[in-house]
Amino acid sequence: MPLEPRATALAAALVALSVLAAVEAEGAPSGKVDAVSGSGMAAVPAGTFSPPFRDPEPADSGARRVAVPAFRVDIRAVSTAEFLTFVRTHARYRKSAIPALFADSGYLRTWKDDLQPDALTLNAPVTAVSWHAAKAYCAAQGKRLPTTSEWERVAATRPADMDSATHLRAILAWYARSSGTDTPRFGSGTRHAFGVRDLHGVVWEWTSDYNAWSAGGVNRRGVKEEGLFCGGASARAAPDTDYATYMRWAFRSSLKPHYTVAALGFRCAADL
């Protein structure tokens, strides 16, 4: 039997209050599946993030704030097993078939052939995937790559039970670690609000507009690019910009859509 209007309104109010409490906490996981055991998506409320640089004009004396609408994002990165399922049904993105325009020669470099990745990596993040292939995978799932703003919005958060100093130490520890041959593991990286895992500490990740902040001269975000990532860039750094953040943005600025990197993977997002 349908609820009476008063009961329906009460139920809606209770739901709204519960959502508001989760948003204010910025630490309650909204994804239903743990990042270690399986896939799932987390709902991220609207918010802001601060790019790690300022405009060189004198009037711009502090960090700018970029508004980020609400969205959904995968709790963890896409696994090798999931990407294998994709290439089984999308032959164009197999190792032997993908056009050179879409991926360089390092694409899926550890796979023995088109449908045979290293068995040890099946339940680990897929890497050595180009932007084109990552974008196509997400589209096939009815999703998309997260924007840089969305990715940074979540990456800047931490779970409610962790203080900011501990969270930053965990991030910096990964950036300071020398690259090795160990297979990256889900759940071995940082924890974030909304139940999201591993934005730092496991692999680098593609974003949909990874190069939108550095396209030469005045880039597509309207920020003057000169000196962003050179020796004099400290004058452009926003207050409290840490080493890890600076490295991450410099890495993104070096990428091209057909590039593949041994420690570069991706996760998907969707509109909310």
How high is the pLDDT of residue 265?
Answer: 97
How high is the pLDDT of residue 220?
Answer: 45
Torsion on CA atoms 246, 247, 252, 253, rounded to nearest 10: 70
Alpha carbon separation from 9 to 152, 153, 156, 186, 251 (Å, rounded): 36, 32, 35, 41, 49
Span 127-152, average pLDDT: 97
Take residue 219 and report the two structure tokens written for it: 């880039």
Q: Which residue has the higher pLDDT, 132 or 221?
A: 132
Average pLDDT of the chain to the nearest whole number? 77
* Three-state SS at 77: coil
- Select from 20, 49, 10 the least CA-distant residue to 245: 49
| Dihedral (CA of 20, 23, 29, 35) sign | positive
φ/ψ of 66, rounded to 5, equals -110, 125
Pairing of strands 264-265, 204-205: parallel
Burial 64-78 (b: 16+ CB within 10 A, else e): eebebeebbbbbbbb
* Residue 56 clears pLDDT 60, i.e. is over it: no
Beta bridge partners of 224: 218
- Range with top average pLDDT, 200-204, 221-225, 242-246, 258-262: 258-262
- Convert the pLDDT of each residue in 78-119 to its tens digit: 999 999 999 999 999 999 999 999 999 999 999 999 999 999
Q: In percent, how much of the chain has pLDDT > 90?
A: 49
115: CB partners within 8 A, 6+ apart: 84, 87, 88, 94
Q: What is the DSSP letter of 139?
A: H
Confidence band, pLDDT 50/70/90 cuts, at residue 73 = very high
Span 117-125, average pLDDT: 94
**Measured distance CA(58)–CA(45) in Å, rounded:** 33
How high is the pLDDT of residue 15?
Answer: 32
Report the first-to-last Cα separation within the chain, whole angstroms. 30
Q: What is the DSSP letter of 233?
A: G
Span 33-45, average pLDDT: 68
- Convert the pLDDT of each residue in 148-203 to its tens digit: 999 999 998 988 888 888 877 877 776 666 665 566 788 888 899 999 999 988 89
- Rg from Cα positions in the chain: 20
